[in-house]
Structure 1
Amino acid sequence: MIYKVNAELKNKLVPMFENIDSTIVLSYLQGHMGDAWVDNLETPTVAQITVGIFVFFAGDPTTKEAAELLCNLPEFTLAIVDSDEWKNRIESIHNGKFEKFHRYRFEKNPEHLNKSHILNFLSSLPEGYEIKKIDSNIANGPSFQELSEDFVSQFKSIDDFIKRGVGYSIIHEGKVVTAATSFSVYDDGIEIEIATHPEYRRKGLATIVASSLILDCLDNGKYPSWDGANIESVELAKKLGYVFKETYDTYFINHNE
């Protein structure tokens, strides 16, 4: 049997997840967003943290409760673990229902992000385009919401996002064509989410909107953490000054397949 963790028990999970280098884990452990489940509320030996579609597992993967946790998933899941034993358990339980791929982790060092270098990218905004900080009017607009549901979906509401999160958009002909937001928040920063409309890609817009968000974070003493989903994201991060650290395995699981 598994149990949902309440706020008072979060600290018990900190040692279990210390080997997973993710600010999204910190978002939960520091009380900002997400949920967790364990096998035992007093002395947990296996645990799950879920923030949106990201799901992290730690502890003993051999228990029957681990199998329960591995089925306690959103409809679409990106699962991340820190051992081959966990990977084998995922592949066994979700045989035929998962795709295994690499994500790309970067060093979390603000000294790598040179504000003067990043500021230079803002001057390349094409004529007819406008950068705007995301407010409630933009966030409630259909072009913003259609671009990516992950911009604000980890927050309780759009108002909650405006209060606790941060984001920038580029507007063209009255529509949001690219945006960069805080996918999640933790004590010392955010995890970045970026999306660009397919018709507006390869124009340098993602670089510009990401630069705006990064500069805002640095100006406010927050770290803009970057975790790449593909090679294009990796190259953009390097262009902005991030230093690549390592690849790691991620499992896309279609739980309802």
Structure 2
Amino acid sequence: MIFELKGIEFYRCRDLINECGQLEAKAVIEGVNPGRVFVDDIENPTSGLIWLGNNDGFIFIGNEQNETFNKNLNYFIENRIVPEATNVGLNWFEAIGNHSKWNSTIKEVFKNRNLGSWNQRVYLLYKEDNQNHDELSIEQGYKLMKIDKNIFENKDRSIENIVFLHSKILGFWDSPERFFSDGIGYCMVYKNEIVSVCFSGFVVGNVHCIHIETLEGHRGKKIAQTIARSFVKDCLDNKNVPYWDCMESNKPSVAVAEKIGFKKVFQYIGYEFPFK
């Protein structure tokens, strides 16, 4: 059997978290960011599965050789995860091991599925590595703004696509209040529309995992690099550490991170298979 923990029970999984693993797993277990946790034993879990609250994947934690947990995974996914995931528009199961020993287990457990994989990179940036010195010139008409309550609430209706910002922030946070308490963020505005965002997606302690997105029609204009530099400066000025997690194949994201001065600290493999 696999059981779901209540939020107040997540602390029981703290010892299962790899301290050198993904920040996202820590953020959910610590209750900073939303997510769901499924385990082999409610009172004394030894293996578990974290469903990230932004629906950006499932992270396996704890003992990868737990036969009882592993043999129930396919049944559990088909009968519990798939119905709920499809209801929120997910068509793929993205599996990530919180430590590398999970890789062989994931491949074995899901060997009868159409399993694919990709490589992911994690970067950190410390003040001594920051190369955010020269201001970038961007096209006229773009305005960089810090994401604050005034922008979010948009009482003057000056932002025409405010739903875009709301959907991004609330995809990672339980409430705007929690975001403004624990996170930071910047946006780029063009003709009364937010065309790019860069904000704390997950936070643990003073480490802020960056979520950055630029609308398609505005890419290739150094907007992502400009907005990321502002986020990084804010972090470093306040003794926070920016954390960048991106797919290895996402060359523009890798280029922005390395241009600013982020250093790769580890990499991991993600696996995926379709629900149907």
Give the TM-score of the pair, scaled to structure 1: 0.84
Q: Letter of the 1:120 partner, please give it.
A: D
Amino acid of the structure 1 residue aligned with 2:3: Y
Aligned length: 250
TM alignment of 1:12-23, pairs within 5 A: 12-18=12-18, 21-23=21-23
What do residues 74-115 of structure 1 show as CA deviations (whole Å, max 9, x unaligned)?
44343211323322145336x13x542111122x3524542x
* 1:232 aligns to 2:252 (yes or no): yes
Residues 109 and 160 (structure 1), Cα distance of their counterparts in 2 relative to 1, 3 Å cut: closer
1:120 aligned residue = 134
Correspondent of 2:145 among 126, 132, 139? 132
The structural deviation recorded for 1:164 is 2.9
Q: Counterpart of 2:111? A: 92
2:125/2:261 contact within 8 Å kept? no
Alignment partners' CA distance in 1, 2:19 and 2:238: 28
Residues 132 and 168, structure 1, Cα contact 8 Å, conserved in 2: yes
1:110 to 109, 123, 126: 126
Q: How many percent identity over aligned positions?
A: 23
Cα distance change on mapping 1:189 and 1:246 into 2, 3 Å: closer
More displaced, 136-145 or 11-20?
136-145
Taking only aligned residues, the RMSD between alpha carbons, in angstroms, comes to 2.7
CA distance, structure 2, for counterparts of residue 169 and residue 109 of structure 1: 20
Relative to 1, partners in 2 of residues 1:217 and 1:144: Cα closer, same or farther, differing over 3 Å?
Answer: farther
Verify the 8 A CA contact 2:164 2:194 in the aligned structure 1: no
**Quick one: distance in 1 between partners of 2:190 and 2:143?**
7
Residue 199 of structure 1 is aligned with which of 197, 201, 217? 217
Q: CA shift at 1:2, angstroms?
A: 2.0
Q: Give unpaired runs (5+ residues) of structure 1.
A: none
Which TM-score applies when normalising by structure 2? 0.78
Residue type of the alignment partner of 2:67 = T
In 2, the alpha carbon distance for the partners of 1:199 and 1:210 equals: 18
Residue of structure 1 equivalent to 2:39: 38
Deviates more, 1:27-36 or 1:231-240: 27-36
Cα deviation for residue 31 of structure 1 reads 2.0
The aligned residue for residue 62 of structure 1 is 67
- Quick check: 1:48–1:69 contact (8 Å CA) kept in 2? no
How far apart in 1 are the matches of 2:152 and 2:271? Answer: 30
Distance in 2, Cα, partners of 1:113 & 1:164? 24
Deviation at residue 179 of structure 1 after TM alignment = 1.1
